[in-house]
Amino acid sequence: MNEKILVVDGNGEFRELLESFLSRRYEVKTAGNGIEALGMLKNGYMPDLIVSDNILSPVDGKSFLLQVKEDSRLSHIPAILITSIYKYVTRADLIRSGANDYLVKPFGLSELDLRIENLLKVTA
């Protein structure tokens, strides 16, 4: 059975691109914001990994992940944050939020695929 990935991104085009690419190897569900994603998670959807943009509204990706990591039922789910902000302090903040990894835009989809693969191996 394929691993399940939850993609959270407010940009519909980018979300669809990620879904199309990742669905070749994984079972993918998407959410347009952190509140929608939290609802899915709290209602029983249990992905093997979360890929979330950091720039979300009304709750940003870091805040979304903090809420995931604070919930004992969800805290084990590894996460990758995607950001267009690449300052050193921001990178540290991304990891502090509970992200297991992050990518800075622009990035290649093959890099995302490798990072997902590596995280899934570690958490298997």
Residue range 28-38: average pLDDT? 97
Asked if residue 65 has pLDDT above 90, the reply is: yes
pLDDT at 112: 97
Closest by CA to 7, choosing from 42, 33, 43, is 33
Closest by CA to 55, choosing from 108, 90, 100, 10, is 10
Show the domains of the chain with their CATH numbers: 4-123 (3.40.50.2300)
Q: Which residue has the tokens 């991104």?
A: 9
pLDDT grade, residue 6 (50/70/90)? very high
Q: Which residue would you say has higher pLDDT here, 119 or 91? A: 119
- 31 CB-near residues (< 8 Å, 6+ apart): 6, 7, 8, 37, 40
Q: Which residue has the tokens 């990994």?
A: 49
Q: Mean pLDDT score of the chain, rounded to an integer? A: 92
- Single-letter amino acid code for the residue at 53: D
Question: Two tokens at 122?
Answer: 């570690």
Residue range 34-55: average pLDDT? 96
